[in-house]
Structure 1
Amino acid sequence: MAGSSHGHTPAAWTGVTIAFIGFCVAGVFMVMAQPAGFWAGMAIVVIGGIIGWIMSAMGMGMPKDAHKPLVTTKAEAADAKS
């Protein structure tokens, strides 16, 4: 994964940060026994995923060709050296 820079994009960081905040909100309200606040936190988690997906669609995510493996066989490694 290190070779493909997995997840190091503005879309990924934003989506995960918002989802993390949502989990924290839900956790606090779960301990306080407040179901409405818990579900509000879960809604924030879903919103984080949607925002990350929208940002990725806007071009702030990984390019489509970045998911190809660099070298998979010894023959490809030999071709890459020459």
Structure 2
Amino acid sequence: MAGSSHGHTPAAWTGVTIAFIGFCVAGAFMVMAQPVGFWAGMVIVALGGVAGAAMRAAGLGQPKDVHPVHEVAPKATAEPASVEG
């Protein structure tokens, strides 16, 4: 993954950061046994996905044509060795 630009966009960073905050909120409220706070954290997680998708739609995500389609070479089939004898 280090050689690709996967996830190196403002949309990805923003969406993941908001979702991470939501998971932290939900986790804290789960430990405190507060269901309302847990579900509020889950709402924040969903908002992270919505924010990332909205930013991608606004052009802040990775362009569609960045990765060209790679041709895959057909697999070589091994012929069974004939047994003489």
Q: Which residue matches 1:10?
A: 10
Secondary structure at the counterpart of residue 66 of structure 1:
coil
- Give, as a single letter, the amino acid of the residue that structure 1 aligns with 2:18: I
In structure 2, the partner of 1:30 is 30
Look up the match of 2:82.
none
Identity, % of aligned positions: 73
Instruction: Tell me the TM-score normalized by structure 2.
Output: 0.78
Give the match's secondary structure for 1:8: coil
Correspondence for 1:51 = 51
Unaligned runs of 5+ in 2: 74-85
- CA apart distance, 1:66: 1.2
Q: Which stretches of structure 1, 4 residues or more, deviate above 4 A after TM superposition?
A: 71-74
SS in structure 1 at match of 2:65: helix
Rg larger in structure: 2
- Note the aligned Cα RMSD (angstroms): 1.6
Report the AA paired with residue 29 of structure 1: F
Length-normalised TM-score, structure 1: 0.80
Aligned length: 73
**TM superposition shift of 1:72:** 4.4
* Residue identity in the other structure for 2:52: G
C-alpha distance in structure 1 between counterparts of 2:29 and 2:53, whole Å: 27
Matched-pair contact (CA < 8 Å) for 1:4–1:67: no
**Structure 1 residues not aligned, in runs of 5+:** 75-82
Match of 1:64 in 2: 64
